[in-house]
Amino acid sequence: MSQKRKSVNLFYGFLILLTLVNLIQSFATELILDEAYYWYFSKNLDWGYFDHPPMVAFFVKAGTLLFGGELGVRFFASFLFTGTVYFLWRTIDDDLKYKNTALFCVLMASVALFNVYGFFMLPDTPLLFFAALFLWSYKQFLEKENIISILILAVSMAGMMYSKYHAVLLIGFIILSNLKILGKKNFWLAGILALLLYSPHLYWLYENDFNSLRYHLVERANSKYKINYTLDYVAGFFGVMGLAFPLIFKAFFKYEKKTAFDRGLSVVVYGIFVFFLISSFNRRTQAQWPLLVSLPLIIIAFNYALKHEKFKKWLFRFSLATLVLLSFLRIALVEERISPIVYESHGNKEWVAELHQKSEGRPVVFRNSYSEASMYSFYSGVEAMSANGYPFRKNQYDLDSSESNFRHKKVVYLSSQKGADSSFGYTRKFRNLKWKGIFVDDFRPWRKLKVTLQEEEIDPGSNSVSFKLDNPYNEEVAFGELKFYGLTLNRKKAVLDTLKVELENRFLNGRIPAKSSLEIRVDLKDTEKLQQAEFFRITIAENILSMGFQGNIVPVKE
């Protein structure tokens, strides 16, 4: 048998083993919080969701149609990851790779965070697959602009964008690295086809008033700068590649980028690093955000190793050491007793069973926790929702109609807030989070009331403001159930303080008719607080719920 044939057999054997190991891990590991949330997405398939495009929900839905439990949620993650590895291998066209297949396999199995997406089903799982497909198809397109490369390029771009919005960075930096490609009509054809494939999501954004984009780009509160945001980001960026990261980045800096494809890989790494470095100046960056750089780094490091024997030996040793460590950590995800920390895949079935017993099987409403609500519903089979407000953020439970399934029902309302009322309590092991619950016999949420300030900007010396109050419900809402507040926000849209708001007497005992709107003018108290504010909004707390996100945000005059 030839060396190449042996190499190919070894590679495909590795892919089969990798898939089987990941399937076993998928079956044996309890869900993590975000996975439960995406499972909630999949219960009602749509062309988009508040936090992400729909690709992750589609794969979760497909898996749960085949299998129950954790395996159903994660089933396609294993195959997507295997596909990612396959297309990375195909992208490397140096024949020396056939003599170094073992190195490639060990390297692929040891890239730290990268391997998480071999069994967790998260938006980055399909993102990595379509990104690997994109890099391979881009290279094919550079070599030969045939109909196959055009179609695969289009599908990969659309697939990435259906997975996560920041896929646009990979596409954008590849174009930036090779501006001549904009002169190729076939590349424009691929782009148009990708846009057509992506159009259902664009239409969904339009139909939903661009809710998701407005939140991420305009309404989302940023944080005051902290040096550890940047330091954590830089450490995570380099550490994501595992123990071999010094060697991998050495290869990146030393590898000679001769071709347009190699230059593209380099620009992607630099571009994504700088983009999220800037992002770290106003918020904490999550470790997976720059994960796309792992693909070009793997390709470059392996290509460099093929020509440098000493480097190759050390890369193999460090990768093997990382693989041993990762194997232990993967077992620890399943077996809490050997884990150095309590992770979010530990103890979920226990707290869900305890809550189910204490809540007497009632539907459960969590204050400000979409992940807890989704996790509870997954393991208990009981309806649950998240009632969101300050200081939390909007999510899918604000966008969909889940609230209507709970109105006027007997529910249990849970809060982790200190000093909250309590009929019973329980503690979730992960982060030692203590929840307190009360029984509510007629739950009356009005989170979808809408407040629109009439002023385009607020005068800091003003003692009153006008707004339109819209009631989208099929029933009237009593003003007696509502409390209005004014919120002052800093330039990063984080809450500074609360202003008292007084309604006119004629509204105090009145009602807002169903499917109607009212023009309301309210008096503001403590208006000196406006002097320090950059933005202002009106918000509503109804019945037992805290302040929501009903009002639009307007600037305060300088």
Single-letter code of the amino acid located at 219: E
137 and 250 share a domain?
A: yes
Whole-angstrom Cα distance, residue 548 to residue 387?
8
Question: Are 374 and 36 spatial neighbours (Cβ–Cβ below 8 Å)?
Answer: yes
314 and 425 share a domain?
A: no
Instruction: Enter the DSSP assignment of 120.
Output: S
255 and 380 share a domain?
A: no
242 burial (CB, 10 Å; 0-12 / 13-18 / 19+) is buried
405 and 490 share a domain?
A: no
Question: Are 252 and 301 spatial neighbours (Cβ–Cβ below 8 Å)?
Answer: yes
pLDDT of residue 286: 87
pLDDT of residue 221: 65
pLDDT of residue 174: 98
Residues (pLDDT < 50) of the chain are: none
10 and 159 share a domain?
A: yes
541, 537, 467, 447: which is closest to 495 by C-alpha? 537
398 and 268 share a domain?
A: no
254 and 303 share a domain?
A: yes
Strand pairing report for 482-489 and 464-471: unpaired
383 and 273 share a domain?
A: no
The CATH number of whichever domain residue 546 belongs to comes to: 2.60.40
Which of 380, 414, 440 marks a domain boundary?
440
Whole-angstrom Cα distance, residue 236 to residue 288?
9
320 and 387 share a domain?
A: no
201 and 240 share a domain?
A: yes
Whole-angstrom Cα distance, residue 368 to residue 386?
6
Residue 188 within a domain: yes
Residue 445 within a domain: no
Question: Total domain count for the chain?
Answer: 3
Residue 530 within a domain: yes
pLDDT of residue 36: 98
Q: Measured at the alpha carbon of residue 31, what is the angle toward residues 221 and 118, in degrees to the nearest 5?
A: 95
Neighbours of 516 (CB within 10 A): 12
Question: Are 413 and 437 spatial neighbours (Cβ–Cβ below 8 Å)?
Answer: yes
345, 251, 233: which is closest to 291 by C-alpha? 233
* 153 SS3 class: helix
Whole-angstrom Cα distance, residue 249 to residue 293?
11
The torsion angle over the Cα atoms of residues 403, 405, 411 and 412, rounded to 10 degrees, is -50
pLDDT of residue 454: 87
390 and 319 share a domain?
A: no
Question: Are 194 and 137 spatial neighbours (Cβ–Cβ below 8 Å)?
Answer: no
Q: Measured at the alpha carbon of residue 426, what is the angle toward residues 406 and 369, in degrees to the nearest 5?
A: 45
pLDDT of residue 463: 87
356 and 502 share a domain?
A: no
* 431 SS3 class: helix
Which of 440, 466, 493 marks a domain boundary?
440
Which of 440, 458, 475 marks a domain boundary?
440
Question: Can you list the positions of beta strands (E) in 267-373?
Answer: 364-367
Whole-angstrom Cα distance, residue 127 to residue 526?
49
468, 399, 387: which is closest to 215 by C-alpha? 399
Residue 342 within a domain: no
Residue 528 belongs to domain spanning: 450-555
